């Protein structure tokens, strides 16, 4: 009904999808799909890596992924 379509979502959900996208490094066949996922406004990023090396991918520019190393602490910058 029309009434059901006007209701707003009132709870949050974080969906984690574990998968492997290559044996030793990212298989380039997945690159375009990852970029499409990162374009979604609902995407909070992608975390991945290998033992003792993790990355948090927050976006991309051209052919480069933008990632953060969760093990490296940086000072914040006040932008306001």
List the chain pLDDT tens, one digit each, 80 residues. Answer: 556 666 777 888 888 888 888 888 888 999 999 999 999 998 999 988 877 888 899 999 999 999 888 787 878 888 88
State the pLDDT at residue 2: 57
Nearest CA to 37 out of 53, 23, 48 is that of: 48
Look at residue 33 and tell me if it is in a domain: yes
Q: Is residue 75 part of a domain?
A: no
Residue 6 lies in a domain: yes
Distance (Å, whole) CA 55 – CA 65: 11
The answer to whether residue 78 sits within a structural domain is no
- State both tokens at 50: 């290998």
pLDDT of residue 31: 93
Cα–Cα distance for residue pair 9/67, rounded to 1 Å: 30
Q: Are residues 52 and 69 in contact, defined by beta-carbon separation less than 8 angstroms? A: no
Q: What is the pTM of this model?
A: 0.69
């Amino acid at each position: 009904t029309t009434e059901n379509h006007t209701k707003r979502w009132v709870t949050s959900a974080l969906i984690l999808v574990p998968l492997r996208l290559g044996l030793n490094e990212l298989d380039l066949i997945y690159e375009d799909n990852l970029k499409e996922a990162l374009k979604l406004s609902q995407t909070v990023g992608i975390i991945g890596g290998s033992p003792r090396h993790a990355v948090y991918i927050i976006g991309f520019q051209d052919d480069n992924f933008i990632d953060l190393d969760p093990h490296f602490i940086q000072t914040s910058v006040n932008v306001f």
